[in-house]
Amino acid sequence: MIRMTRIAILAMAIVVGQSNVQGQTHSDSSTSHMLVAGVERAKAAFLVGSFATTITFAPNPAMPKGVTGTGTSVIAYTLDSLFLSIEDQSVNDLFGHYKAHGMLGFDAQQHQFVLSMFNNFGDHPTYHGNFVGDTLVLQTKVEAPRGSFDQQLRWYKEGETVRLRVLNDFGKGFLPVLDQTATPASPKTK
């Protein structure tokens, strides 16, 4: 009986020891993912701020001379700084009053950024991508009534401004659709 108790205790010690080793390996892996995600999120810090925006749409069949508009963009850390919350709005002759909300985060499991956007037209694309040099490049496939196409977002810092370029590919390569220049809004004085 004493021998069986010792064997049971030894078996329990082995199981607990293996669990601790496996838990430590998992914890080390999680820590590694957290460090990578933290480094990647830090690269996107240039997006954070309150901005006045100028939007230029490339010439298109609906507007042969192109269109310009103005708006605002507020991008802030949220959810323990794991994500960036994006609030964007503008007024232009092509879309009228445009409003959008998005969440940008880094998926440490997939090793890529994920951006989910929602707007007042009912669109809700999800983009995936990474940095190419100093430019955050995100892409999605857009389903449209006349067929699907690929859309790419390219965000980068240019001096004191943040630039966003939107490009579409209908099967012949990416062509510019929209260029947004975001200038930091001056702090309000009291």
Binned at pLDDT 50, 70 and 90, residue 188 comes out as low
Token pair 């810092």 is at which residue? 157
Whether residue 14 is contained in a domain is answered as: no
CATH of the domain at 150: 2.40.128.20
Structural domain including 137 reads 45-184
Residue 189 maps to a domain: no
Domain for residue 21, yes or no?
Answer: no
Q: Answer whether residue 23 is part of any domain.
A: no
Residue 18 domain-assigned (yes or no): no
| Cα–Cα dist 60/52, whole Å | 25
Write out pLDDT tens, residues 144-157. 888 899 999 999 99
In a domain? residue 167: yes
Whole-prediction pTM: 0.78
In a domain, 56, yes or no: yes
Average predicted confidence (pLDDT) for the chain: 83
d(CA 171, CA 190): 53
**How many domains, in total, are found in the chain?**
1
Structure confidence by residue, pLDDT tens digits, 85-129 = 999 999 988 788 999 999 999 998 999 999 999 999 999 999 999
Whether 72 maps to a domain, the answer reads: yes
- Placement of tokens 């690929």 in the chain: 150
